[in-house]
Amino acid sequence: MIDRRSLIARAGMIGGLALHPGLALAAATTQSRLVFIILRGAMDGLAAISPANEPRLLQLRGALARPPEQLGAPLPLTADFTAHPALAGFAGLFAAKEAAVVHAVASPYRERSHFDAQNILETGGNAAYALKDGWLNRLLPLLPPAPPPVAISAALPTLLQGAAPTTSFAPSRLPDASASLKMRVAALYEGDPLLHRLWGEAMATEMMAGNQDGPGGPVALAATAARLLAQPAGPRIAVLDHGGWDTHAGQAVRLAAQLRQLDTMIATLKSGLGPAWADTLVICATEFGRTVAVNGTNGTDHGTASAVLLAGGRVAGGRVHGDWPGLTRLFEDRDLLPITSLNAVLAGSVAGLFGLDPDRVVRSVFATAPAAAMAGLVRA
């Protein structure tokens, strides 16, 4: 059923695309494209990309160690790692050497607040709120001239904030509240009889209406990003937000839905970019990982290291990059050990993608939390 709201949204989106002033500037002098997907809420890297030969995972996670059987078997990537079955598209790209993984990655942050950790992920600093601008903004002066990077969201994320010009673009409608927000609202109303009843009725009605990922959802926004980046004179950098990864309870079902959505976003980017996919690097990064052990509500709690997913024609694909710390020793006896610096991955990725001197990127962009840029992530 196409309702009035989604029709308005479609109209708004098309109109906005044509009219947005920031998106029609002089042609870019680089063909390289970067899509950065911020996975907000802490993606469980161990469930997305699982180590194949770690008996301790089964010990600590029990039933959560493997995806639910009805989704199918884990998809082998290498001899040592499998992908979650909801990442079938990504696994296909991996086999075609158009996707890669860097595992056991963490930012310098070692505590467990989403807000603080996301701020560090986005600013590239070593303490929350220490830097006012995003690392991607600090990268811009090093790049050849191009139309300003675009955030496919209503507001500009910290990642893009700073002195260099940037823009944001989003359809001019109210997006449906995210699944994560709705779940938290439900919990928030548990102690309030009136609101609890009203919310229950609202959710029941919505479920009957079959409201899924509509316009304004992350997949639609990925399609928008691809359309913008595919234009020869369009921007070269796009930032997408994807929330809902904070799987404290009922992780098996929710994480599968999240991963499937991310998988569809990546596939949407590939098809929307067309030939430009060959020039593209997609980086999917999260603020931190999750506990190795399952908690009391069939979920996992805030952890430390997670995985970074890379995709696109420019990826040195078909590999799980970096070292693997194993699960024998855990960080603070609970989390995957951080063995690779997130900033090293980011610096290495963008230096490789845009043909920049890696040391210069580290010095100019990640000066307060420097880490030697990781080599070999990107094809020249």
Partner 1 sequence: MSIAAIALNRFGLGARPDATAPADPRAWLIAQFSAFEPRPAIIAALPDAAAMTAQYRDNLRQLRQVGIGGIPRQPGDPEPPKGAEAQALAEAQQKARREAFRAAYAGQVRARLALALASHAPFAERLVHFWSNHFAISTDKLATATMGGPHEFEAIRPHIAGRFSDLLLAVTRHPAMMFYLDQAQSVGPGSLLAEVARRRNAPRQPGLNENLAREILELHTLGAGHYTQADVAGLARALTGWSIGGFVRRPLGLDAPPGQFIFQPAWHEPGRVTVAGKTYAQDGEAQARAILDDLALHPQTARHLATKLARHFINDDPPPHLVGRLAATYLANGGALLPVYQALITAPEAWATPLAKFKNPWDWTVSAMRALGLNDAPGNARIAPMLNELGQPIWRPGSPAGWPDAASRWAAPDALLRRVEVAGRLASLAPAADPRALAARVLPGVLSATTATAIARAESPAEGMALLLVSPEFLRR
Q: Which residues bind partner 1 (CB under 8 A)?
A: 40-42, 113-115, 118, 153-155, 158, 170, 172, 174-178, 180-182, 184-185, 187-189, 191-192, 194-195, 198-199, 201-202, 205-206, 243-246
d(CA 92, CA 77): 9
Least distance between partner 1 and beta carbon 275 (Å): 32
**Phi and psi angles of residue 118, each rounded to the nearest 5 degrees, phi first:** -65, -35
Sign of CA dihedral 136, 83, 221, 235: positive
Q: Which residues neighbour 52 within 8 Å (Cβ) at sequence distance 6 or greater?
A: 74, 76, 79, 80, 81, 82
Q: Give the Cα-Cα-Cα angle 308, 245, 103 (nearest 5 degrees).
A: 20
Q: Least CB distance from residue 249 to partner 1, whole Å?
A: 12
One-letter identity of residue 109: Y
Which residue, 30 or 178, has its beta carbon nearer to partner 1?
Answer: 178
Q: Which residue has the tokens 């499937």?
A: 260
Query: Given the complex with partner 1, which of 50 and 118 has the nearer CB atom?
Result: 118
Which CB sits closer to partner 1, 199 or 324?
A: 199
Residue 56 or 182 with smaller CB distance to partner 1? 182
- For the bound state, the minimum distance from the C-beta of residue 67 to partner 1, rounded and expressed in Å, comes to 22
Parallel, antiparallel or unpaired: strands 150-151 and 237-242: parallel
Closer residue to partner 1, CB minimum distance, 201 or 332: 201
287/298 Cα distance (integer angstroms)? 21
Give Rg (Cα) of the chain.
20
Q: Please provide the size of the chain in residues.
A: 380
Q: Specify which residues 134 forms β-bridges with.
A: none
Six-digit token string for 82: 């499998």
Q: For residue 125, is it left (φ>0), alpha (ψ between -120 and 50) or beta?
A: beta
Least distance (Å) from partner 1 to the CB of residue 285? 14
Q: How far is the CB of 172 from partner 1 (least distance, A)?
A: 5
Q: Which is nearer to partner 1, 32 or 168 (CB)?
A: 168
Nearest approach, Cβ of 129 to partner 1 (angstroms)? 8
CB of 30 to partner 1, least distance (A): 29
Query: Nearer to partner 1 by C-beta: 189 or 324?
Result: 189
